Every structure is written in structure tokens, then in C-alpha cells.
Structure 1
Amino acid sequence: MASISWVCCAVLLYLALFIAPISILVPADGYLTVNSSTSSWTNREPVGDLLKADAVIIFASRSSVDPDYGHACFCGFFCNQTCNSSRFATFFLNDDPRVLWSANPKNPISINATLKLNSERGLVLQDADGTIAWSTNISTKSVAALKLTDNCNLMLLDENNATIWQSFDHPSWPTDTLLYGQNLVPGQQLTSEGGLFSLSLTTQGLFAYINSNPPLCYWYYQQDFGYIISYVQFIEKGLSFFSAQFGQTSFYVLSLFIPSTSLLTQYTRLDPDGHMRVYDQDGQEVGDLFKNIDLCAFPTVCGNYGICTNNQCSCLGSINGKNYFQQIKDRQPDRGCSPVVPLSCEASKTHILLELQNITYFPLLDITIPGINPNYQNISLSTCTQACLENCSCKAAIYFSNGYCYLQSEIFSLNSNESTNHKVYIKVQQQTNHGKKKHPLGIIVGSILGSLLVLFLIIGIFVFRIWNKENADEDEECYLDHVPGMPTRYSYDDLRAITDNFNKELGGGGFGTVFEGTLVDGTKVAVKRLDGLSQIKKSFLAEVETIGSIHHINLVRLNGFCAEKFHRLLVYEYMSNGSLDRWIFHKNYEMLLDWQQRKKIIIDIARGLTYLHEDCRQKIIHLDIKPHNILLDENFNAKVSDFGLSKLVDRDQSQVVTTMRGTPGYMAPEWSSSIITEKVDVYSFGVVLLEILCGRRNFDHSQPEEAMNLLALFKKNIEEDQLLDMVDKYSEDMQLHGVEVVNTMKTATWCLQNDFTKRPSMSMVVKVLEGVVKVESGLDYFFLNPPLPNTRAGVDNQEVHVVSATPLLPSVLSGPR
């Protein structure tokens, strides 16, 4: 008893000196009972400085106050910096205080909030205003005690000391940490701080990705004994896989890359550089679970565009006498490289692709392995490289020998390798030749005279073309002025001032880049600058003609335009919440939409399309309905945007013939015939509807192989009557409304019929969603998701420029860190 008193005194002294006035109890039997004198705690304002955080401790593990142990696992109220709000959490207190688990990451509490322990509901976190911020919501069993284990697992126990609830089973996603003894189950993933890397578990294996566009796998483990993985657990030896099959407890165990660890090892973390390191409670590194991976295989080891050779970093050498890349930081090659001439969408005509010899991309794994990367259709090398040149956001094209093509919007580290199964093409800005030798005087004089004659001829031709071009531009500008209901015309200088010289980019869509701007009266706008070559005029006219004179609450409003010389810009209303995809595809719990919000968004999209198809003077087929083209205002009202591909159809036309256009995955099956109706928009709406309800993309590489294709999974679950399994599992509110969500999925079934004549009109869809009519019966459940086209849809052909480049590596200054 005396030793226990000594320990408690030591802890209280520590807390009094370094933290705050605290309520703390560590009973002799190792846990706190419901009937204890202390079963309610209040969040007080902490005092003192704990480096990056302040904490009010209400509970601690037994070993936290053991002087022979020297480590601390605490439970209490934790806040950062200003302490305007707090979280109830478990955490370490060391040189870098670290939250391990949080009950209310999305719903922080204020000062004077309380935490109560009772037998009926377990733990209940109540804010100062009386609202319930979080609870364990135990309803089936009576809670007898609260326990915090040495490895920071917070547990509720019944009277027999059996676990009723534990924090290990309710991790606060997203998280980068797996605690000692904690499980990771299929469908869950760790996400590094900053979100660049993720580690996903499926029933087939463990996969590490860099979240580029598209995401790519840089490490994986797949067991090949036919077992279905039930979970992976962090133990003393590292990560071990467990499998329970055939209705009995049979375990298949495999330890990966075993580090030299001790029992003091407490957690493993996916770090911002892509390594999976093991740390003790003091935050000291114990080992690296990826230690057997070649250092050059990590995607950011040499920074952007850097080349890793034998664990040393450099930039791409001179090619045909030209240097296309330079070090970002002298004497620090691991910081990466940058293009000597930055890529510019306005100068896309001078973009070329350098083919890199004996170089891989960090390197890529074999994408034919099931579950590694999306299974794209085979396309030709010329189609792959041409698609990259025609897409301003594309920075590189990677082409595998089996016909798989990847277009990358960001370039990470490259890896020198003489044996590869793919080609790497890097996009650069074409350069002019410099540094030519001086010619003798006579040759120089002759060259000058000849050049002058050629110059006068070129000037004459140029003036003549400019005169013709100005006349053509004037005709177009005159034409636009006669379009009924045309909005405000701006000069290019006006829009440059409004956007602060196009300084703040919001994103890209259609054939242009979108920038944030502010009008003189303070109103925010979105300014779309059309990029490209032959498509500029066509896309500009399509977008202006389509929405210049129509107004609907569920269509993004066109406030103005600029048609001046070579400049083509559109001014839209500003949508503060951006595009729909960032709210339904990213598993950020602070950005999850609830059922009522999603239901309203679905109806808004349907009403917008109904207006386009049925209420305009001319029928308008959008042709590119997808979450990226659905924008949300400050009240989450959804509006259809991006009409660059749209088609105007006379009312007496039932169908039109047009070139293939749109986005793969959202394109209806009848595109193969090139004869389309407004029902292609209905099909795309069906795909988007499923994505909203399921909270995932129509093709998701992070899912098990059998669940990657959303439409195929939808068909399977319909047949097995398991549609509830498809409801967005990250949203508790969606799960609570599961039955209503499943009923809405039936609307998607109707929209996805392969025979377009069987699909409903969008006005009928609105009636179904509003509960006025029911979904038609006898539907076909064989959904067809058309393959990728062999040519880039809706884009005119452009000559492909490919230059073969063999790197001449400069002297290496230092290795990667």
C-alpha cells in the first residue's frame, strides 16, 4: 500500500509541475470501476507548456506511473496550440506529444465539457452546452469498469472482466499509426501525414501506394497459399497475417521484415516519406518494416524528377546538347529537380516527350499482378503518348510492354535500371538552340542580308495572317454579341486584374484551367481560361452557346466571357465547396456528407439534367456527367457545370451522330455506335448516383479484385440481395438510413439499362426520387461498362513528338535521405 501511495505522489508532483490541475486515478487492481468515487471528469483549461500540445489527464495505464518502466500512456483531454477546442484521446507525453486514438476527431469539445462513465452507455462525452459529442453507446451489456492497457488500448469491461468495447476496434480514421497488438482488417488503410502515402489491406494482401494521379503501388505482399487474410496485427516481430477459414480457428501467420525490437516497442507508423517505421513510446525509431526494400524504390527518395542510382541522386543529363532539368537545391540532389523551362499550357504546341532509356518510374511494380493497379484496356503506344500531349495536366506517359498505359500528372523519383518492362516518356517544353559557333565575317554578313530578306517576307506573311485572323475574330465576337441573352463581355486586361494575373488556380475541367477571381464589388467568381489548340474555338462556342442564355438553379451560371484576339475565357459564379468528387471519394471524416445532403445533391443533379433535356429551347445533351463536373455552393446545392463537350439538338431530332466524347467509366454502351440520345446522360447519372451512395469510385484499385468494378459488384450484390453491404461504410448516418439508400439504388438500376430505350427520362427520375412514382419492374441487371476508347474522346488528333533520351548522369554529390 505504501508503494502505491509513493507512485501516486510521484505522478501528482509531475503533473503539478508540468501540466495542469488534474484528476487522475490509477487503482491497485489496474482499472477504474463504474462505482468509483471518480467517474466523471471536466475539461479544464490546461497550464504550462508541453511543446506542441496541452493535456488534462484523467486516467493512466499502470505502467505509466512505474518508475522502472519510464514510459507514459495517458487518457484525457488533448488540445493543440490555442486550446480553443479539445479531443478526448489516448496519447503519449514525450518530446513530441502524440495522439494515438481520438473519440471525437470530427467534433471537438470546448472548455467545461464533461466525460462520464456509467453502466448503461459506457463512456459519454458531453460538451459544455449539453450536447452529446460522442459515446460508446453500449446498450446490450452492463459496463462495470474502465481500463487503459499498457499499449494504450482503452477498454470497457463487464463484471466478469470480459471486453465489451475497446478503442482498438474503433480507430479514428484517417490514421497513420498501428499500435502494438492492434489489428488492421481488409478494407481499412493507414494514411501518412499529408496524405501522400497509404497502406491498404485486402483479403489477398497488403499494398503500399503513393496517392498520385493515378495512384501507384510501390510495395506489396500477397500470400500465395490460397488463404483469405482476416487481419494483420502489429506484434513484437513486426506485422503478422492471420487467416480464419472453414468455420474453425486456424491461423496462418507470417512475419514481415522482422526488426530488432523489444517489448517496449509500442507502435508502427506510415511516415510521410513512405517508410513503415517502428517507434517506442519515447518516439525513438526502433526499426523499419520496409528495410528490405531498395532505397531507390521509394517514390520520393530523390524528389520530383530526380534519378536514383545506387542510392545516389542526380538530374537527367544533357540530351542533344540541351539540359532540360536542373537541381532545385545545389549540393542537395535529394531535393529533386525542376524543368529548366517550366511547362506552360499556353505553349502546349511546343510540348515534346523525351523517351528515357534505361530508366524506370521509382520503379513500377508488375501491374498484371491482381489487386496491384487498375486493369486498363490495351491501347497502342502512339495513342498513349498522343493522349499525354493533348492533356495539359499530363507530365509523363508510362507504357508497359503488354499495352497498359498510365498518364501521370505529377512526377516523383525515377530509378536507373537497364532492364525494364516499360517505357517512360517525360513531357518537356521544346527549347531553341543556343551557343552556336561564330561564323567568319563574310558568312555572317551574307547570313544577315539573307536573313533580312527572309524576315521581310515572313513579316509580310505574318501581317497578312494577322489581318485575316483579326477579321475572323471580329466576326466571331460580332456573332457572340448576337447570341440571345449573352452575359457581360470582359476585356482580357479586366480578367487579368480580377484574377490577380491568374494567380490562384482552382483546378482544371473540360478544355481549360479555372482560376479564382474577385469582381470590383467583392463578388467571387471562377474564371475558366480555355487551353489547347484546335479545340479552343469549338469548346468556347459550345460552352457559351449552351449556357449563355439559360438560367436554372441547378446549372452553374455563366456571368460573363472574354473573346479578345487569341484569348477565350468564361466567367462563372463561384462555388465555394468545389466539386462533388472531393466530398464523396476522400475518406476525410470532416468532409463526409450525410444522407440528407447526398439525397438533395442527387435530386439537384436530376433537376438540372431535366432542364437541359426537356425545358430548353433546344435540347442540350451534356455528354460528360461525372462528380468532377458537379459543383457545390456554400449550402451544398448541386449545380451541373462544364459544357465544353455538350451537344445542341433540335426538338424534332430523336438522335444525333457525333464523335466519341466523354470520360471512360461514365460513357453509355451505345457510344460504340456513335448514335446517341439524351439517354447517355441518364446512364452517366446512374453511375454518379451509385458513387454517391457507395462513397467510392466506379473503379477503385484499393478494393479486393472482385470488388474493384462498381457496376460488376452492384450486379453481384443485387443477385445475392446484399445491397446494404454497398452503402458508404465510412458514414454512420448513411448506415442508419441503409434501407432508404438501397431503395435509391433501384433508381440507378433503371438508369443503367444497356438498352437506352429502357432507361427513364430525367424528369421521370426526379419523380421517382421525390416518391411520386415507382421504379419500373422487370429490369436487366447485366450492366455494361464500356472499355476505354482507342482514341482520346472528343479531342482532335495532334502530331506526336517523341525524342529518345539516354541520360548522361552528372557526378553524384550526395545520397538520398
Structure 2
Amino acid sequence: MYPPKILTLLFFLPLTYSSSRLTMNKSFALNAELGTIWRNNPSLLHNISPDDNFSLRIILPKEAFMTSVNSYYNSIPSFACGFFCAGAVSTCDDYIFSVLFVSVYSFHAEVYFHSPEVVWSANRDHPVKENASVQLTELGDLVLYDADGTQVWSTNTTEMSVVAMNLTRTGNLVLLNHVNTEIWRSFDHPTDTLVTGQVLQVGQKLMASTSMENRASGIFYLTVLPDGMYAFAGTDTPLAYYQSPTGGTVMTNKSAYVALKDGSLEVFTCFRDTEAPDYQIQLPRDNDGPVFVRLEFDGHLRLYQMPNNSWASSDVFDITDPCDYPLACGGYGICSNGQCSCPDAAIGQSGLFELIDQRELNRGCSPIVSLSCDSAQKPRLLSLPNITRFSGVYNWTTSEEQCKLSCLNACSCKASFFQQYDTSTGFCFVASDMFSMISVNAQSYSSNFSSLAFVKVGARHKSVLSKGKTAIVTVVASSLIASVIGAVLVVLRRKRGGPLEYEDIINQLPGLPTRFSFLKLKSATGDFSTKIGSGGSGSVFEGQIGDMHVAVKRLDGMSQGEMEFLAEVQTIGTINHVHLVRLIGFCAEKSHRLLVYEYMPNGSLDRWIFEKHQEAPLDWKTRLRIIADVAKGLAYLHSDCRQTIAHLDIKPQNILLDEQFTAKVSDFGLAKLIDREQSSVMTRLRGTPGYLAPEWLTSVINEKVDVYSFGIVITEIICGRRNLDYSQPEERLHLVSVLQDKAKNDQLLDLIDPRSTDMQYHLDEVSRMMNLAMWCLQVDSRRRPSMTEAVKILDGTMDVETELDLDLVNLELMVANRAVRGNIAATLQIDSILSGPR
């Protein structure tokens, strides 16, 4: 694998300053009491110079700020709180409520301050306008309202006995109770910056801005995990591009933290007799001015040192490789020893890419011919030797040719990266987002090492003249084709006596299940009166059609076209297996899309294993039968259909139980068809956090992702809890991590559901099922069994594999699961919406 990257850190002193005169009035205060209201307008202390490139209205400066206002030729950087807008004073219209560093000095009875540095903001993703307001309500809640009265942000502290607000000397905006205890702290809600004295705890993160001009949350973040400090790129499937070199472990420690102390960034992961950090990044101190650390919009972490007087000099200290962060040279740029170039220029070609900014090479490159899935011209790949990317994740093993084809055949792919260490083993990564690429020195590796990038480029026209000719021909041809089509339609309509209808298409499609009218299903469900479930794509209602008890799913927010919906109904309608929920019929009428399924009276499995049912918990015999039923249903999908069908969302909510507790797999909304000759396919991330296999991080998957999810479900059935349970203590939050720890210490039976009484009488079977689960949970998908093999194990005709890798936890997958949990409630980037009852 490519060696781990080191995060670049720049120690930065502000290079330029702009000054502004301040005005003062009675709104100026050091703290605030309940009922105080501040309006975002010039009634607040503010800058008035039209030459400023910012607008600042201050509500809470501290004592040091006041001292510098009243001092002659004195500049002491201090904290202030107020409304900030990055733009000319005359045109500013998007303000964020912020805590800032402000350097203030007076000259000839006038007061000036340097360009402020925002270190915390409440509403970075939702700026407010002129005359917005901040209120410390009588109930003790700090609330931000926009000018139209819309509530934008709140501390939600109405029940916490807040009596006052203050801004501490360290820049911590706090709400206090009557004994001055801090009830709410801005330090506990970091944005992109840490100031001296602030601590970043496990699970908290710094989120970079979108760009230098846009302070909204971007795609890079830095966080603390139990084994150290990490930086990640991406939001849906984050990839680590930095890890602090510390000695903590994921399994044992929940008290890791990062702190900015005395001019150094310190990482703590282990309890020791001394207070020495595991890792420390020291700032070369040229003065005693305050410091803060910020994760920049390009993924670069920088330590800033503010000057301790108005005339401090500026220095920049670069202590690591300037190529080791995702946008060192912008999108598509290649970084080599800190120098940036475009992909074609790196291999002596031209005409394929152009610099975004000729004066700033680190802004990146853009393709001259844009890529389009609809283009008649097929794209090609530009091969770049000795090139890699910021992340060392290459966990798809394949050949160089297959790595190239995987990108060419996937519209979303922009480049693929291939590394080979010997003549037999190669690793591929397919990228749909283009960050900077990095030039590597192949001579520092073995003679068999190679690192290649294949960048997708669009097909070019030969000349401007040919473009013009092509355009003319295209216009003429388009007109001719349109005329022919129009004539054909006229003839067809005359023969049929009316226009062609969508109904005609439906009637000619073979293999569709029964079609119902919308009024029929509306009547069958009593006008959709009895709701029995819901999912990411719609709601499920109980219904009766004749003597048939049914579940009707009404799909919401249709993203498919009519033909795509019908094709999917046609495919799923042909599946018939005792352990798959049966699709009885459908409705496709105007904007209505409904699916009719067989009714499953005992609902979904999660009702029976995650919380105590009104009856007794499931006995071991029933749990074991459910495991076997699910295995048989998946084996049918994977092996017995014309095409392999990967379900992609196996979880207890999608396993339904009939009156005899026979289990049936439901919800094929995310399913992917895989041709038999294909060993894998590339697809966007689908599924549910907690059930995603590690290979989803590469977007190249096969049916083995279902095997991994099946292993999670077995573990949950035996343990009686969810894989990701955020009500658990930190060390038990992730069930697979606990399973890994127990397996290594030969304590697997400690995990048995404590509510079950009879599992203790079947310990051999329980242990066997746990071993099957761990076989299914192997990080390397090639080491997992097929579902057909799982069925044989459950039937007793095959033994469980005993030589297992007990390192079951994939750290990047854990972080991805946590990231998506906060952003997407149920499923991720759904390609299709056909869905069974949940």
C-alpha cells in the first residue's frame, strides 16, 4: 500500500491588515442579562470605513478590548462576539453570529482594528440579513432570528436555569446559572477552529469551510477517535488522509482528546502517570501573541499566531510535505515537491486540461472537454505513471486492465488508481470525486512496484472548423429526424384513432404482476387509514382485496421515470421464493406509484429482538430458524435467479415474519442486478449505517456485501441489540468491535441476549452461529462464505471455517457510519425507490 500521509501544518501569521474606525454607543457591554436583544444594524459598535473588506457589529467585547480602545498606540488582540460579514461594508448582506479575534488600537482619538479572525460561529450554514437579532430570552435561551422573524439557531437551554451570558477571556461564549456555573459553552460546539485552552473530545470535529469565500460547512473534517486525531475527506464515504502517530487503540479508550496548549497542538489517547501528550505539534514562537488552529477549506490544518502588537512581522513555517492534503493543487492538479501541474502537462501533452487560474497554480485544473454520460463520444483514459492520491485505500484487488475498465464503464467515475507491488497482486481505487494527485518516487520502492492513475477525459473534436460543420450537420439532422418522428406519430395516431398512451406500453410488457387502479387500492386501505410502517421511500398501509390480506406501500417523492419503475416491477415480480416477501401487484396511474405485498402479521424482526415484546422474547429455536430462513432467501437471490440480485439493504427492519414466524426478506428498493459474467460492479453507496460492508468505501461491490450484512443480523439476533447503539457507553457502542474483543479473549458467550432463558441450554449451537457470523464479517470479502455455503452450514452439511481473521473492525467504515448517521436518517444515495413493506 502507499505509505500513510502526513497532514501538512503551516504556522501562519497574518500577512496583511486592513484598518477601520470604530464607533461606540450604549449597546457596548461586557456581559448580558436575560431579556437582552441585539439587532444587526449600525446601532451596535461597528466599523464604518467603506474600504474595509468586512462588516463587523460587536455586542460582547472583553476587558482587554476595552483597554485597547482607550489606549494610545496600543494593540492587544482579544476576543469579541457579534455579527460578521466577509464582504465590503456597503454590500454585506450575509452575516454569521460569531466569536472573533480582534486587534484594536487607537490613533489620534480614533479607534481602529485589524481584519478579525472568526473562531466560532452559530449559523455558518444559514447566514442572516441586516436587522436580524440575537436574544437572550427571559427563559434563558440564546436565540438567533433572521430579519423576517424566522428562528435560525438556538442553544435550547430554556430548562437549564440560565441567568446570564458572558464571553470569557479565552473566547468561550457561555451561558451561566445563578452560581456562575457554565450551562452552555461554545467550546462544546466547535466549527472549524480551536483556540488556546479549547479541547476537542472523542466524536467532536472541526468542519472546514466550503471555500475561502464561503464559510458554510465543506467536505473536510478533523475529528478525535479513541486511537488519535484523524482528518477525513468527503461526507458520504469519508476517507482518512491523516492520522496522528499515537499509540492508543480503538477498543480500549474513550477519553482521547486534542487540546491547544501554550502554542502547541497536543494529542492525548492514553491514561498515564504524567500529563505528557502522546503526540505534540510545537509552534516556533516568535512572539507571545495568541494562537489558534483552523482546518482550512482545502483540508489543510494551520496554526495561526496573532501579533501581540500592531506592527508584528509575518512568518510562515512549513514543517511537512506540502503535497499531503487533498487539495494541495486543487481538483485534477498533480503535486510534486510542492509544485502543481495539470495531468496532461505532467506527461508532456497539452490541450486536455487548463489551469483554473494562471496566477495561482494551486487552484487546480479543469478538463477542456467536459464529461457527459449522454455524450455520443465515448471517453478515454489518460494514463499517468508514478501518480497516486491522498488516501492509501486500495482494498479492491484486481488487474490493471480491470481497474481501467471499471472506470470507463461507470459514468460517475472520474479516475481510477492502480498500485502493484509484485507481478501477481494489484490494488484499485475508483474515484468519483477528483482531489489533487501526488507524484511518487517509484525508485524508493521495490523494482516490481508501480503506481498508475487513469484519468477519464472526454473525446475532442479535431478542430474548430469541424466543430462548426458538425454543429450545422447536427441541426439539419435533428430537424430531419424530428420531422420523420412527427410524421410517424401522425400515421400511428390516425390508424389508432387517438394518441399513443402510457397504457399501451404497460399492456405490452410481459411478466408484470397484477395491476390495480388507484381507486381500488384507496378503497382497499380505507383511504390509507391504517398505517403499519414506513421507510425511506414511502409508507405502508394495511388493506383487504377480496379475501386477501395485503400490505400496500405508497411510494413518495418519485425519482424514477415511468419505464424505470415498470422495469423494476417486472424484475421483482418474477421472483418467487418462500423466504422472499411476494409482490402481488402494483399501481402506476398518473403520479401515483403503489406496490401491493402479501401481509406479514408479525411485522419486522427488529420488533422482536431489540426490545421486549409484550409476549416472551424469541426462543433459540425460533431465532435459529429465522437465521436459516434469511440465508435461504439470500441464497436464492444470489445463485438461483437469471441474474445475481444483490439486495444491498439486509437488516432486521427488512426481515418480515408471518403468523408462524417464518422469515421473509423484503424491500428490494436498493437491489442491484449483476450479470453472471461480472465479478463485481461499481455503484453509488446504498444501504443503512451499521450494516455496510467495508468494500462500500471503494464503491466496487458484489453480492458479498449482503453476506456481511447477514453476519451483522446474526450477531444482533444472538445479542439482542443493534450493531450501532448510541445509547450504549462509548466502549460498547459498536457491537462488532465488542464481538472482536470478546472473540480475541475467548469470551463470545458473554454476548448472549440476557433476556433469553433458553440460549444457555444451546451453547454449542449459539457458539457455532457466532463463528458463522464472524466468517461473514471478514473485512476481506473474498474470505467470506457464499450464501449457498451459509445454508449448508445451517443444514449441518458443511463445517464453519475456523481459520478466521479476528480483526473485524474497519476504522474508516466506522467513521463513515458515524458521519452518515448525522446527515441521512435511513438510506444513503438511493438509486431506486422500489420498496417492500418494513
- In the superposition, the TM-score normalised over structure 2's length comes to 0.51
The structure-2 alpha-carbon separation of the partners of 1:484 and 1:659, relative to structure 1 and needing over 3 Å to count, comes to farther
Deviation for aligned residue 1:723: 7.8
**Cα distance in 2 for residues equivalent to 1:542 and 1:424:** 47
Is 1:427 aligned to residue 456 of structure 2?
Answer: yes
**Cα distance in 2 for residues equivalent to 1:92 and 1:264:** 11
**Cα distance in 2 for residues equivalent to 1:163 and 1:728:** 26
Is 1:415 aligned to residue 421 of structure 2?
Answer: no
Answer yes or no: is the 8 Å Cα contact 1:377–1:788 preserved in 2. Answer: no
Answer yes or no: is the 8 Å Cα contact 1:180–1:267 preserved in 2. Answer: yes
Match of 1:121 among 140, 154, 160: 140
SS in 1 for 2:501: coil
Match of 1:358 among 386, 395, 401: 386
Amino acid at match of 1:115: Q
Q: What do residues 342-367 of structure 1 show as CA deviations (whole Å, max 9, x unaligned)?
A: 44434566433333222223xx3443
Answer yes or no: is the 8 Å Cα contact 1:72–1:281 preserved in 2. Answer: no
Answer yes or no: is the 8 Å Cα contact 1:61–1:74 preserved in 2. Answer: yes
Amino acid at match of 1:43: R
Match of 2:80 in 1: 74
Amino acid at match of 1:654: N
Deviation for aligned residue 1:255: 1.0
The structure-2 alpha-carbon separation of the partners of 1:355 and 1:484, relative to structure 1 and needing over 3 Å to count, comes to same
**Cα distance in 1 for residues equivalent to 2:274 and 2:178:** 27
Match of 1:43 among 39, 45, 58: 39
The structure-2 alpha-carbon separation of the partners of 1:714 and 1:358, relative to structure 1 and needing over 3 Å to count, comes to same
Match of 1:166 among 185, 197, 207: 185
Q: What do residues 161-195 of structure 1 show as CA deviations (whole Å, max 9, x unaligned)?
A: 55443221233xxx222222212222232222211
Amino acid at match of 1:181: G
Taking the TM superposition and a 5 Å limit, the aligned residue runs for 1:559-574 are none
Answer yes or no: is the 8 Å Cα contact 1:306–1:414 preserved in 2. Answer: yes
Match of 2:231 among 183, 189, 208: 208
Is 1:234 aligned to residue 260 of structure 2?
Answer: yes
Unaligned runs of 5+ in 1: 1-14, 27-31, 369-375, 435-465, 490-537, 556-598, 623-629, 632-636, 671-676, 703-708, 730-779, 791-817
Q: What do residues 368-424 of structure 1 show as CA deviations (whole Å, max 9, x unaligned)?
A: 7xxxxxxx4534444332221111221211123354422112433333323266432
Answer yes or no: is the 8 Å Cα contact 2:141–2:154 preserved in 1. Answer: no
SS in 1 for 2:570: strand
Deviation for aligned residue 1:648: 0.9
Q: Percent identity?
A: 24
**Cα distance in 2 for residues equivalent to 1:339 and 1:620:** 50
Is 1:399 aligned to residue 392 of structure 2?
Answer: no
Q: What do residues 722-744 of structure 1 show as CA deviations (whole Å, max 9, x unaligned)?
A: 78944899xxxxxxxxxxxxxxx
Match of 2:222 in 1: 199
Taking the TM superposition and a 5 Å limit, the aligned residue runs for 1:304-453 are 304-316=331-343, 323=350, 325-328=352-355, 333-339=361-367, 341-347=369-375, 350-361=378-389, 364-367=390-393, 376-401=395-420, 403-419=426-442, 422-429=451-458
Count how many residue pairs are aligned between Structure 1 and Structure 2.
545
The structure-2 alpha-carbon separation of the partners of 1:149 and 1:360, relative to structure 1 and needing over 3 Å to count, comes to same
Report the aligned-residue RMSD: 6.2
Answer yes or no: is the 8 Å Cα contact 2:196–2:260 preserved in 1. Answer: yes
Match of 2:154 in 1: 134
The structure-2 alpha-carbon separation of the partners of 1:132 and 1:653, relative to structure 1 and needing over 3 Å to count, comes to closer
Is 1:24 aligned to residue 37 of structure 2?
Answer: no
Match of 1:296 in 2: 323
Match of 2:215 in 1: none
Match of 1:221 among 244, 247, 252: 244
**Cα distance in 1 for residues equivalent to 2:539 and 2:168:** 54
Deviation for aligned residue 1:319: 11
Match of 1:258 in 2: 283
Amino acid at match of 1:235: K
Is 1:186 aligned to residue 108 of structure 2?
Answer: no
Deviation for aligned residue 1:149: 2.0
**Cα distance in 2 for residues equivalent to 1:666 and 1:725:** 17
Deviation for aligned residue 1:680: 5.6
Q: What do residues 208-235 of structure 1 show as CA deviations (whole Å, max 9, x unaligned)?
A: 3333986543332141255736211122
The structure-2 alpha-carbon separation of the partners of 1:725 and 1:139, relative to structure 1 and needing over 3 Å to count, comes to farther
- In the superposition, the TM-score normalised over structure 1's length comes to 0.52
**Cα distance in 2 for residues equivalent to 1:127 and 1:66:** 32
**Cα distance in 2 for residues equivalent to 1:600 and 1:215:** 35
**Cα distance in 2 for residues equivalent to 1:696 and 1:304:** 28
Is 1:659 aligned to residue 643 of structure 2?
Answer: yes
Answer yes or no: is the 8 Å Cα contact 2:334–2:340 preserved in 1. Answer: yes
**Cα distance in 1 for residues equivalent to 2:314 and 2:509:** 58
**Cα distance in 2 for residues equivalent to 1:621 and 1:786:** 37
Answer yes or no: is the 8 Å Cα contact 2:533–2:540 preserved in 1. Answer: no
Match of 2:99 among 86, 90, 95: 90
**Cα distance in 2 for residues equivalent to 1:121 and 1:165:** 11
Answer yes or no: is the 8 Å Cα contact 1:259–1:288 preserved in 2. Answer: no
Unaligned runs of 5+ in 2: 1-18, 69-73, 103-112, 211-217, 443-448, 464-479, 522-530, 578-639, 655-663, 673-684, 699-707, 730-768, 783-838
The structure-2 alpha-carbon separation of the partners of 1:250 and 1:322, relative to structure 1 and needing over 3 Å to count, comes to closer
Answer yes or no: is the 8 Å Cα contact 1:608–1:640 preserved in 2. Answer: no
Q: What do residues 112-161 of structure 1 show as CA deviations (whole Å, max 9, x unaligned)?
A: 8563377x737566889698963452656x65764322221123455665
**Cα distance in 1 for residues equivalent to 2:238 and 2:184:** 35
SS in 2 for 1:150: coil
The structure-2 alpha-carbon separation of the partners of 1:350 and 1:683, relative to structure 1 and needing over 3 Å to count, comes to closer
SS in 2 for 1:387: helix
SS in 2 for 1:384: helix
SS in 2 for 1:385: helix
Match of 2:292 in 1: 267
The structure-2 alpha-carbon separation of the partners of 1:259 and 1:208, relative to structure 1 and needing over 3 Å to count, comes to farther
Match of 2:666 in 1: 679
**Cα distance in 1 for residues equivalent to 2:727 and 2:510:** 38
Which piece of structure 1 moves more, 317-326 or 421-430?
A: 317-326
Match of 1:646 in 2: 568
**Cα distance in 2 for residues equivalent to 1:336 and 1:176:** 23
**Cα distance in 2 for residues equivalent to 1:169 and 1:695:** 30
**Cα distance in 1 for residues equivalent to 2:574 and 2:691:** 39
The structure-2 alpha-carbon separation of the partners of 1:485 and 1:545, relative to structure 1 and needing over 3 Å to count, comes to farther
Deviation for aligned residue 1:202: 1.5
**Cα distance in 1 for residues equivalent to 2:709 and 2:24:** 52
Answer yes or no: is the 8 Å Cα contact 2:712–2:777 preserved in 1. Answer: no
